[in-house]
Amino acid sequence: MPNAVTHVLLALIILSFFRHHIVKKREFPLYLVLIGGLAGLLPDIDILIYWFTSGVFSLVEVHRLFTHNFVIPLVIFFIGLVVMRYKDKIGKIFMVVGFGWFLHVFLDGLLSGTVYPIYPLMSVGWGLNLLPGTIFGGTIFAGIDAILLVGWLVYEYWQHNIKEYT
């Protein structure tokens, strides 16, 4: 499965691109990029649940079942759309959290293993498993982290945006 860094960085990169090229910066503050990036880790909260309930459930019974679906991020995103009518900032926070969560689930299904996109409605699994979790696959995931980080830093430097992060 992709490393935690990949989940955070890819969400940061996409939201940063959105902030710089799609909307005006004042309409999409930098803290939203950070929140969306951190939200890219949220579906793995099921690992914490496993740690606190070890002995009750196995990791296979918990991980990628309840939190790795598209239902949760879509609900969060649509709550953001509704809330945005009344509280713009809070609505945008919900929307970037939904985006980060959705991206995490999509990456897991695309790159390694199986996710259950419409769980609990149906227990249908989806996964292309493009980079299976082998020793070599782990090396690839570390390489993806490095490429994403260096690419993002070079892009931000090139766009003279690196000072925003200091």
- pLDDT 10s digits, 88-141: 999 999 999 999 999 999 999 999 888 999 988 888 999 998 887 666 666 888
Question: pLDDT at position 112, please?
Answer: 86
Question: pLDDT at position 36, please?
Answer: 97
Question: pLDDT at position 85, please?
Answer: 92
Question: pLDDT at position 165, please?
Answer: 63
In this structure, the number of other CB atoms found within 10 A of the CB of residue 78 comes to 13
Residues in the chain: 166
Question: pLDDT at position 142, please?
Answer: 87
Give per-residue pLDDT as tens, 3-52: 999 999 999 999 999 998 999 888 999 999 999 999 999 999 988 878 88
Question: pLDDT at position 18, please?
Answer: 94
Cα 131 to Cα 138: distance, rounded to the nearest angstrom? 9
pTM (predicted TM-score):
0.89
Question: pLDDT at position 131, please?
Answer: 82
Residue that is written with structure tokens 């309409």 in the block:
27
Cα 127 to Cα 107: distance, rounded to the nearest angstrom? 9
Q: What's the angle, vertex CA 135, arms to CA 131 and CA 141, rounded to 5?
A: 50
Cα 156 to Cα 99: distance, rounded to the nearest angstrom? 21
Cα 10 to Cα 3: distance, rounded to the nearest angstrom? 11
Residue 158 near residue 150, CB atoms below 8 Å: no
Question: pLDDT at position 136, please?
Answer: 62
Give per-residue pLDDT as tens, 43-83: 999 888 788 877 677 766 777 888 999 999 999 999 999 99
Closest alpha carbon to 73 in 102, 34, 41, 94: 102
Cα 59 to Cα 62: distance, rounded to the nearest angstrom? 5
Integer CA distances (angstroms), 128 to 11, 87, 105, 106, 114, in order: 20, 39, 12, 10, 8
Cα 60 to Cα 76: distance, rounded to the nearest angstrom? 26
Question: pLDDT at position 166, please?
Answer: 60
Q: 19 φ, ψ to 5°?
A: -65, -40
Give the mean model confidence (pLDDT) for residues 132-161.
81
